[in-house]
Structure 1
Amino acid sequence: MSDYSYVADRAKKAHASVSRLEAALQRAPQDRGLQINLASMRRLAEQARSDLNRLAAINHIEVCNYRLSPEFGDGYALEHVASSFLEYQLLFSQIYDAFANGPKSNAVIGAEAKAASTLDFAFSYSGSLGIVLLAKSERDFIEGNLDKPIDALYQIMDVSDVDNVKDIANNLGRAVVKRVHDWSKATVKGGFAADIRWKRSDGVERGQVIARSKLEKIAEIIDRTSDEKTIPISVAGTLVGIDVNAKTFHFVVPDGESYKGKLDDQFSLIAQNRVPAPYVADISMIERQHYATDVREVKNVLRRLNPLPLDPLSIALGPPLLGG
């Protein structure tokens, strides 16, 4: 690894020199000496990068070129740049975790998966805002442990509708979908397009430019994606409130749950004339899981009320009845 470390440091210094010379040439664009020095240093930087890629393959190191380009203006607010880089790291680690430990619903990354998928900063280079990231991999004769996560990074960028999002969730977990959303939003907020290109240590290259509009579309599709299921329940308790105009209700189970929500469109208001009063309530619990935020939303809809005797003891002793 000593040769690799030396070449990586040489590439870092060469690209830093290119940036300094470019800045100097902007101040003195007619300076022939600066022009010659810049051309020479650019050749050295490219040679150092070529040597870096060659040694990376030998040492099983995956190389990621990550470049941000402002689509509006030319600013690079630190908050947005850092957020884009950080969210990309979290996305990559979450994908690795999905392959290593199986799909997850919660955006939690295992300690071993996090360590195995950590991206190390190598150097930055001129031309918009570009950085080179390195990831040490383990490779056998067939594949490396980072091959599938790298390939998946580009597959998930092909999201075009809600069904695509749900396919990703089924294969890699809702946690990966949330990470895609967070990275897309962070990059969009900075006004950036992202040019991300991987050179794997087996020689395979993956890469594409993802326009800001594409990232915005990805985030918007995920924002619209959710899972919904309806759970019918029947519970004995007391109707403590009902608003005919707002079509809302409040139903309480003794020493148990309190249900608030809307009346079903077919709910008979005429038949209900006592509040408070004991009933068996047929309620539909509608659960919705939002992919973008991982927030679980529950809505209660009162479908029917069946009167119970006024004896409070019979209500207290009667267990909830499951079913519809």
Structure 2
Amino acid sequence: MSDYAYVADRAKKAFASVSKIEAALQRAPDDVALQINLRSMKRVADRALDELEKLAALNFIEVCKYRMVPVPNAGYDLGSVSKALLEYQNLFSQLYDSFRNGPKSKAVIGREARLESSLEFAYSYSGSLGVVLLTKSDRDFLTGSLDDAIESIYQIIEINDIDAVRDIATARGRAVVKRVYDWSNSLAEGGFSVDIQWRRSDGKLLSEMVDRNRLEKIAGFIIEAADTQIDDVLVEGILVGANRETGAFQISVPDGETYKGHFDESFVVPDEMTVGGFYRSTIRVSDKYYYASDTHQMSNSLINLSGPFTVKKKV
């Protein structure tokens, strides 16, 4: 975006001057000259920002003002700030990828999708820790290539229960939910609220302030949310072990899988179980997926067991 470097540099210098004058006013709050200079420089900065936004609209540049506001008596830990910015980029790119290439289960961003949704730092501005980010889009008369991803940011911050988490997973993929968790949790742990404002190149303005408590709740809903898939599998194999007291069992399929688990509540324990015998069984396989950690918890329950049977040897 070198074509916009001059205007962006003007805005950067203007807002930097505003910050310096504000810092000087904190040391000398009654200095009239500083007060006049601050008002004047704020007008310069506002004009520079207005010029930048107009230039961006003409050239299909989407402008994001991203401001992190620390809780009282908290500062700007570098690790927390950098992580929150990185996770915001990852979330935005994952959202764009879900529209471009379809929803994904794993939090992996396609190379082209990442390049097309990369956010470029323009400058910082006063008022907590604010940064202006730019990204180029393709736009026709009706829509822009990044419109859906931008609007989805504001849908995501409306998460208010576990069902909303599952709805996002269904519509945009598990990968997006994982990115939402990483982003919201990084801000909450860092002690930040966040103010997000997008000025799209079609002139539409979207803006919302999300406080730290709300970010914590979003992360909490994702931690609580999980999907469970249950399948009853017919298994023929060797009973490697079975413990009547603990309910543990192990069945191995020759040249195949090994199933370890416990007796189901409905399982009727046979009078005899021959270790090393060949049995037919129904095993309930449960796969529980946790969005926040992107991990699976597998468990097996033995539903029924019949045998032992004699296995004919291959000639």
Which TM-score band (shorter chain)? over 0.9
Change (3 A) 1:72 1:259: farther
Distance in structure 2 (CA, Å) of the matches to 1:173 and 1:2: 35
Which position in structure 1 is the counterpart of 2:18? Answer: 18
Which position in structure 2 is the counterpart of 1:106? Answer: 106
SS of the aligned residue for 2:157 comes to: helix
Matched, 1:73 2:73: yes
Distance in structure 2 (CA, Å) of the matches to 1:205 and 1:197: 7
Matches within 5 A, 1:4-15: 4-15=4-15
Deviation at 1:277, TM superposition (A): 3.1
Which position in structure 1 is the counterpart of 2:233? Answer: 233
Distance in structure 1 (CA, Å) of the matches to 2:184 and 2:98: 19
Determine if contact 2:261/2:301 at 8 Å carries over to the other structure. yes
Which position in structure 1 is the counterpart of 2:149? Answer: 149
TM-score by length of 1: 0.91
Which position in structure 2 is the counterpart of 1:181? Answer: 181
Deviation at 1:2, TM superposition (A): 7.3
Provide the alpha-carbon RMSD of the alignment. 1.8
Which position in structure 2 is the counterpart of 1:85? Answer: 85
Determine if contact 2:240/2:251 at 8 Å carries over to the other structure. yes
Change (3 A) 1:241 1:72: farther
Change (3 A) 1:31 1:294: same
**Runs of 4+ in structure 1 over 6 Å off:** none
SS of the aligned residue for 1:175 comes to: helix
Matched, 1:209 2:213: no
Which position in structure 1 is the counterpart of 2:254? Answer: 254
Which position in structure 1 is the counterpart of 2:308? Answer: 308
Which position in structure 1 is the counterpart of 2:28? Answer: 28
Deviation at 1:93, TM superposition (A): 0.6
In structure 1, runs of 5+ residues without a counterpart are 318-324
Deviation at 1:276, TM superposition (A): 4.1
Change (3 A) 1:18 1:272: farther
Distance in structure 2 (CA, Å) of the matches to 1:228 and 1:2: 49
Q: Which amino acid aligns with 2:222?
A: I
Q: Which amino acid aligns with 1:165?
A: V
Which position in structure 2 is the counterpart of 1:131? Answer: 131
Change (3 A) 1:258 1:2: closer
Larger deviation, residues 236-245 vs 220-229 = 236-245
Which position in structure 1 is the counterpart of 2:299? Answer: 299
Deviation at 1:209, TM superposition (A): 0.5
Distance in structure 2 (CA, Å) of the matches to 1:101 and 1:3: 30
Q: Which amino acid aligns with 2:154?
A: Y
Which position in structure 1 is the counterpart of 2:38? Answer: 38
Determine if contact 2:274/2:308 at 8 Å carries over to the other structure. no
Matched, 1:48 2:70: no
Q: Which amino acid aligns with 2:166?
A: K
Which position in structure 2 is the counterpart of 1:197? Answer: 197
